[in-house]
Structure 1
Amino acid sequence: MRNYLVIFILFTTVLFASKQELTVTILPQKYFVQKIVKDKFNINVMIKPGSSPHNFEPKASQMKALSSSKIYFMIGEPSEKAWISRFKQNAKNTLFVDTTIGVEKIAMQEHTHHEDEHDKHDNHIDENGLDPHIWLDPISVKNQAKNIYEAVIKIDEKNSEFYKTNYNEFINELENLDKDIKKILTPYKDKAFMVFHPSWGYFAVRYDLEQISIEIEGKEPKPNELLKLIEDSKEHNIKIVFVSPQFSQKSAKTISQNIGASVVSIDPLNEDWQNNLLFVADEIAKSYRE
């Protein structure tokens, strides 16, 4: 029996190691890619769970995995752009695919109370001042899924029907998710929610909500700015303040205590992508029902 167990372990190890690799920048992309390729590829994620894109630096093991990847799926996140030239130098045989093609981008919400124009800088915004968080809107993800599917069939044409079936199923899932979120949030049209970093702009626009950010140029607000945010929160009748593991929670908790809003932790990089979006929708709706 022991010999059979050893053989099984060796077989599964070899099978796992023999799979070709794909690389993505963030965990939600892994979710999207796996919906289409299932278990035909291993997926290397550059920004690991619990890490922040804003201080990202790849490890040697990740660079090695990237160099052997068939495809790198780009998301247009600023930290990715900072490294992309080095990635391409390191992975000369890898196909680099821009999954943002076809996505209609929106301007990144700027929240500043500074008078000095030179201070108006946020390294979380792309070079055109556009919001990179396109993965937080199911309809934008439909475009990303199409780009992923078209790239995968280029490198594995013999399994194109398999990928096509998975792609179509994923598109149906995205459309149903969009309907479910609309059903949850339609009664709360034009309501506002607050979050430290304005990652949820596409989500807010899609579902007719208003996102109010706490950060000032990517930093904690100063005392006078915090007072202004508290006033803004009261004017907008904010019922919920979202915090996330990538950013400070100090200001969010101070604001919530002053306005009587609930504090809820969410992660824009959560790999359980679909349930994460439904959770955010449910929490916004619940905050206005209570």
Structure 2
Amino acid sequence: MKSNIFILPVIITFAAWLGVLAACTAPAHDKPIVTVSIEPQKYLLEQITGDRVEVRTLIANGANPETFDPTVNHIMNLTKSIGFLRMGNIGFEAAILDKVHGEHPDLPIFNTSLGVVPVTGTHSHGGVTHDVIDPHTWTSVKNVKIIAGNMFNAMTKIDPDNSEYYRRNYERFAARLDSLDTAIVSKLAPHRGEAFMVWHPSLSYFARDYGLEQIPAGNADNKEVAMGALKDVIDHAAEHDVKIFFYQKDLDSRQAEALGSQLDVEKVNINPLAYDWEKEITAIADAIAATADSTKESKH
């Protein structure tokens, strides 16, 4: 009887220890998933959602949205989400909507570029160019404030329990965007009317915001450009005294590298699809200002 009295506390202690061990090794409760289309969107949404949701991207950094073809796995992963915040005008998004509705008819889907005044004529679709909306709406600070507002509204519908948390984050982010836009306006004000060259026409909205001219050397499909057309672009750039050439090293045609080596311009590698949207947009503005300023100094 005495032995049982001594064994019982040991059993209780061992059971308690197993309970603690199980609690420590059990997987943490998974956060709800919200899916976006591209990496810059992930950055923007995370400024609003903080640690309340897991934000996933359909296209990993380094993939080309112009040629992206979603697989069945992409669709299945998307259906695990509590919401899909699409960019709005990227071609592959429209291509998957019917499939997503078929797999997950109740999945809330939001167009985060709703309300952005579109730029047209920079991209083509089926041979038509003038009516096609430029999809790069996120390459504009002013646009991003609209996009962030759409994201906030979407999250209050998807996850109303955290709406006040999202509101506070959104308001802080919106104020930061206003400060960033003011800084870029001041930085680029002396360069209004000037032109820059870019291989892929990804900075149309940025150019519109700050009174600049974007001269695309390549095309939206990133296909080889006829030599005659390339010469016309070079002549046009020379007429406008272009001093900077933006290109995307990992995505652009090999012609972009060749063209850059032939031009007497500053060659700057950019990545509009980078996760750190704020860093990228600031770097583009800084490059334009620095190149233009150094050119003016050298003339004196």
TM (norm. structure 2) is 0.83
Larger radius of gyration: 2
2:189 counterpart (182, 186, 193): 186
Q: Judging changes above 3 Å, is the alpha-carbon distance between structure 1 residues 286 and 232 closer, same or farther for their aligned structure 2 residues? A: same
CA RMSD of aligned residues (A): 2.4
Q: Judging changes above 3 Å, is the alpha-carbon distance between structure 1 residues 86 and 124 closer, same or farther for their aligned structure 2 residues? A: farther
Measured in 2, the distance between the counterparts of 1:279 and 1:259 equals 21
Counterpart secondary structure, 1:14: coil
Structure 1: gaps (5+ residues): 111-120
CA contact (8 A) 1:24 1:74 kept: yes
2:28 counterpart (14, 20, 23): 14
1:42 partnered with 2:54: yes
2:86 counterpart (49, 74, 77): 74
Equivalent residues in 2 for 1:39-118, closer than 5 Å: 39-76=51-88, 77-109=90-122
AA at the equivalent of 1:198: P
CA contact (8 A) 2:120 2:130 kept: no
Measured in 1, the distance between the counterparts of 2:157 and 2:109 equals 12
Q: Judging changes above 3 Å, is the alpha-carbon distance between structure 1 residues 65 and 133 closer, same or farther for their aligned structure 2 residues? A: same
CA contact (8 A) 1:24 1:30 kept: yes
AA at the equivalent of 1:136: T
Equivalent residues in 2 for 1:208-227, closer than 5 Å: 208-216=211-219, 218=221, 219-227=223-231
Residue 279 (structure 1) aligns with:
283
CA contact (8 A) 2:122 2:130 kept: no
AA at the equivalent of 2:275: E
1:146 partnered with 2:149: yes
1:257 counterpart (252, 258, 261): 261
Measured in 1, the distance between the counterparts of 2:61 and 2:83 equals 21
- Can you list the C-alpha shifts for 1:74-115, whole angstroms capped at 9, x where unaligned? 1121121122211222222310111122111121336xxxxx
Measured in 1, the distance between the counterparts of 2:246 and 2:40 equals 19
Structure 2: gaps (5+ residues): 1-17, 295-300
CA contact (8 A) 1:19 1:41 kept: yes
Q: Judging changes above 3 Å, is the alpha-carbon distance between structure 1 residues 7 and 50 closer, same or farther for their aligned structure 2 residues? A: farther
Q: Judging changes above 3 Å, is the alpha-carbon distance between structure 1 residues 86 and 65 closer, same or farther for their aligned structure 2 residues? A: same
Counterpart secondary structure, 1:35: helix
AA at the equivalent of 1:71: G
Q: Judging changes above 3 Å, is the alpha-carbon distance between structure 1 residues 217 and 148 closer, same or farther for their aligned structure 2 residues? A: closer
Aligned length: 273
How far the C-alpha of 1:123 sits from its partner, in A, is 6.3
Residue 203 (structure 1) aligns with:
206
Counterpart secondary structure, 1:169: helix
Measured in 2, the distance between the counterparts of 1:127 and 1:97 equals 26
CA contact (8 A) 1:50 1:245 kept: no
CA contact (8 A) 2:35 2:56 kept: yes
Measured in 2, the distance between the counterparts of 1:207 and 1:84 equals 34
CA contact (8 A) 1:108 1:201 kept: no
Measured in 2, the distance between the counterparts of 1:281 and 1:69 equals 35
Counterpart secondary structure, 1:55: coil
1:137 partnered with 2:140: yes
Identity of aligned residues (%): 30
AA at the equivalent of 1:258: Q
Counterpart secondary structure, 1:212: strand
How far the C-alpha of 1:249 sits from its partner, in A, is 4.6
CA contact (8 A) 2:149 2:170 kept: yes
Runs of 4+ in 1 over 6 A off after TM superposition: 6-9, 123-127
AA at the equivalent of 1:268: P
TM (norm. structure 1) is 0.86
AA at the equivalent of 2:178: E
Residue 114 (structure 1) aligns with:
none
- Greater Cα shift, 266-275 or 143-152: 143-152
Counterpart secondary structure, 1:203: helix
CA contact (8 A) 1:51 1:246 kept: no
How far the C-alpha of 1:126 sits from its partner, in A, is 8.6
Q: Judging changes above 3 Å, is the alpha-carbon distance between structure 1 residues 212 and 145 closer, same or farther for their aligned structure 2 residues? A: same
AA at the equivalent of 2:103: N
1:32 counterpart (44, 48, 56): 44
